[in-house]
């Protein structure tokens, strides 16, 4: 698509949004470039883009399955995603992966290396892999990542958000995605770490990688199952996989991911995700002082619950900001 020099930022965003709504996947890279522009014009363009892929414009929630994959560094997430992408494509499903890399606290930069670590055919237009920075957010998801996932959900069958690190302050991926898989490496002590951090409440599936290690992998699986039982969450599946060729357990994992989505109230889940995202963005911009101006986090949540459920994140944030100004 050629863009005339006189076209406004909102016009560019709206045009890209319409292309995504029509499942034109070639619109995805320029749409992501636009979303990552955090200037005022860029934010206005992103808002116009989101309006074109909103539930109101689509006639319902975006069709993609939003899948979160998170876990400690070195747990095998990239190898696992290489296998998942391959099988999804073999089954005719288009896949977008947003790989979130931690930003350096010193330089603000990010390695942005996941595109290279996830194996895929670069000539396959049914796969998009994009590395994005966390931008210092403890939750691991900067505003552009949330917007990007929601934009891509209208054009792809599966949108994966991969994040590094888990903990009570690093679970924003749960707020965004329909299904969250937490990846654990056997023999790493992660089970105890997860229990201390409260992370066991986050996953819809727990995945033990490197099952080819034998006893140590089986022990990790038993420990996780025991931990889940102690928390009253024994229904959460714990699956063991190996990404070594030939891969093992991938079909069972995909079946578990699909089964979770089948039992989900996607409409209610997505509404809640947008409201939580708006609250996170407001808090990131205005801090605890801004939240206190609204009467606290619970009051802000109640305020959001009274708004039109079809509103997108920028409109929800604007409503919170308007209320905060009115309270001064």
Domain ranges of the chain: 65-262, 265-328
Mean of per-residue pLDDT scores for the chain: 84
- What pLDDT is stored for residue 16 in this prediction? 97
- Per the CB < 8 A criterion, the answer to whether 38 and 72 are in contact is no
Q: Identify the helix (H) or strand (E) that includes residue 183.
A: strand 179-184
Q: Which two tokens stand for residue 96?
A: 């977008």
Please compute the mean of the pLDDT values over residues 108-121 and round it to a whole number. 55
Upstream peptide bond of 296 is cis (omega within 30 degrees of 0): no
Please compute the mean of the pLDDT values over residues 104-112 and round it to a whole number. 39
Instruction: Among 81-85, 280-284, 293-297, name the one with the lowest average pLDDT.
Output: 280-284
Q: Counting every residue, how long is the chain?
A: 328
Q: Which two tokens stand for residue 202?
A: 């986050």
- Topology annotation, domain 65-262: Rossmann fold (3.40.50)
Using the predicted structure, report yes or no on whether residue 73 has a pLDDT greater than 50: yes
Q: What is the dihedral of CA 257, 261, 262, 268, to 10 degrees?
A: 170
**Residue at token pair 């089970």:** 191
- What pLDDT is stored for residue 296 in this prediction? 93
**Per DSSP, what are the bridge partners of residue 103?**
110
Calpha distance 218→240 (Å, rounded): 8
Helix (H, G, I), strand (E, B) or coil at 170: coil
Using the predicted structure, report yes or no on whether residue 280 has a pLDDT greater than 60: yes
Instruction: Among 24-33, 108-117, 256-265, 272-281, name the one with the lowest average pLDDT.
Output: 108-117
Residue from 177, 178, 202, 176 nearest 277 by CA? 176
- Per the CB < 8 A criterion, the answer to whether 140 and 28 are in contact is no
């Amino acid at each position: 698509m050629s863009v005339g020099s006189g076209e406004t930022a909102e016009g560019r965003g709206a045009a890209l949004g319409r292309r995504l709504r029509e499942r034109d996947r070639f619109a995805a890279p320029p749409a992501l470039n636009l979303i990552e522009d955090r200037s005022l014009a860029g934010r206005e363009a992103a808002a116009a883009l989101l309006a074109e892929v909103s539930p109101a414009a689509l006639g319902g929630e975006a069709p993609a399955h939003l899948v979160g994959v998170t876990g400690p560094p070195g747990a095998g997430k990239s190898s696992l995603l290489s296998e998942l992408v391959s099988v999804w494509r073999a089954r005719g499903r288009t896949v977008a992966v947003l790989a979130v890399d931690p930003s350096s606290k010193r330089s603000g930069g990010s390695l942005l290396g996941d595109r290279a670590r996830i194996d895929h055919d670069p000539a396959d237009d049914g796969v998009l892999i994009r590395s994005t920075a966390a931008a210092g957010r403890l939750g691991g998801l900067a505003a552009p990542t949330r917007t990007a996932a929601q934009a891509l959900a209208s054009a792809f069958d599966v949108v994966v958000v991969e994040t590094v690190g888990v903990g009570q302050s690093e679970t924003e991926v749960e707020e965004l995605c329909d299904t969250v898989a937490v990846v654990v490496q056997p023999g790493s002590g992660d089970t105890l770490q997860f229990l201390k951090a409260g992370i066991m409440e986050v996953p819809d599936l727990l995945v033990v990688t490197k099952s080819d290690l034998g006893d140590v992998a089986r022990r990790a699986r038993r420990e996780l199952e025991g931990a889940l039982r102690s928390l009253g969450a024994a229904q959460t599946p714990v699956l063991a996989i190996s990404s070594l060729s030939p891969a093992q357990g991938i079909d069972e994992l995909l079946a578990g991911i699909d089964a979770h989505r089948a039992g989900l109230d996607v409409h209610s889940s997505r509404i809640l995700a947008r409201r939580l995202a708006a609250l996170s963005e407001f808090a990131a911009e205005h801090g605890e002082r801004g939240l206190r101006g609204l009467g606290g986090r619970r009051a802000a949540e109640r305020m959001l619950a009274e708004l039109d459920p079809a509103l997108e994140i920028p409109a929800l944030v604007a409503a919170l900001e308007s209320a905060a100004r009115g309270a001064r």
